[in-house]
Amino acid sequence: MTLAETYAATPASLRRRGVTQLRWRGTPPNGEWIASGDVSGTVRIWGAHDDHVLKKEFKVLAGRIDDLQWSADGMRIVASGDGKGKSLVRAFMWDSGSNVGEFDGHSRRVLSCAFKPTRPFRIVTCGEDFLVNFYEGPPFKFKLSSREHSNFVNCVRYSPDGNGHKGSIYAVSWSPDGKEVLTVSADKSAKVWEILDSGNGTLKTTLTCPGSSGGVDDMLVGCLWQNDHIVTVSLGGTISIFSASDLDKSPFQFSGHMKNISSLSVLRGNSDYILSGRYDGLICKWMMGRGFCGKLQREQNSQIKCFAAHEEEIITSGFDNTVS
């Protein structure tokens, strides 16, 4: 099943039920359970199949969870985020919720955490205090800190074979074989790097997302390399799915409105297409049987009350009492 099909098959109740502010979602090696974290600091364990039955629920942090990850054996989960003056990182057994370590060393919000996928197990964390901390266990205890960063450290990941990688970017994801790395950043680009035996990286390709206008919403803030799927997420909420085996192929995209929709219109020249607009001026194009087809670029992105579409022309009425 493709990622698009998986998303379409997921019940709406699961997407609404406490996971609307999901930061990261991990699945252990057996593929039976899914872990989600939300803004309240709660981690929920769901069944990966059928009705996605809620198995367990744990209050992990006092504030929102920014990242979580399963251990390679699927027995433990580590979560990090905003502790609101209390614990900023917690590792626990997935079935009982019992702690498996103490995580001292951070003074501010911890933005990312990761399990070393090979034994002996290790945990690495990073955050707004510019630190990258390493912990040994279980039970996990502080080992050392890296202080090489001069600003927030946004993401940290171990390679699948246990080797680390450095990069001052918004998010990082390794290829399944550990020989390539996917990075995304505020320059609105995603890049695939080949990692040499020396530890240095060479650029393999730069991925571009169709429909990018170059604005702030096009900054890429999240990524994932899952089997043959390369996934990027923009600040504006657009999810692009590339094929790792055919990087020249156009990506499949999920997107939509993030604010109230003020008007709809069916193209009179082609009834298979629907246009939707929100008050701030964004107009999205949808196709029957497919869904999102892109965002329309306007010369003046002014607020609109309503609009009408006919063939290749769109007439808008704005809050400034003008028609264009």
CATH label of the domain that carries residue 159:
2.130.10.10
In angstroms, the CA 94 to CA 156 distance is 22
Task: Indicate whether 242 and 273 sit together in one domain.
Answer: no
Mean pLDDT throughout 173-182? 90
Kindly state whether residue 184 falls inside one of the protein's structural domains. Answer: yes
pLDDT at 19: 46
Task: Indicate whether 152 and 21 sit together in one domain.
Answer: yes
Task: Indicate whether 172 and 308 sit together in one domain.
Answer: no
pLDDT at 165: 39
Domain termination residue (choose one: 206, 225, 254): 254
239-292 tens-digit pLDDT: 899 999 999 898 887 776 666 776 777 776 666 777 777 766 677 777 776 666
Instruction: Give the domain range for residue 310.
Output: 261-318
Kindly state whether residue 202 falls inside one of the protein's structural domains. Answer: yes
pLDDT at 199: 66
Task: Indicate whether 301 and 212 sit together in one domain.
Answer: no
pLDDT at 198: 66
Task: Indicate whether 241 and 271 sit together in one domain.
Answer: no
Determine if the pTM surpasses 0.75. no
3-state helix, strand, coil in the chain (%, to 5): 5, 45, 50
Edge to edge, the sheet with strand 239-243 lists 220-226, 229-234, 239-243, 252-254
The DSSP bridge partners found for residue 284 are: 276, 295
Domain termination residue (choose one: 254, 269, 296): 254
Task: Indicate whether 65 and 161 sit together in one domain.
Answer: yes
Residue 34, pLDDT > 90, answer no
pLDDT at 314: 72
Task: Indicate whether 76 and 48 sit together in one domain.
Answer: yes
DSSP output for 83-104: -TTS-SEEEEETTT--B-B---
Buried b / exposed e along 124-134 (16+ C-beta atoms within 10 A): bbbbbbbbbbb
Task: Indicate whether 182 and 239 sit together in one domain.
Answer: yes
189-226 tens-digit pLDDT: 888 988 877 666 678 888 887 766 667 778 888 899 99
Report CA torsion sign: 295, 296, 300, 302: negative
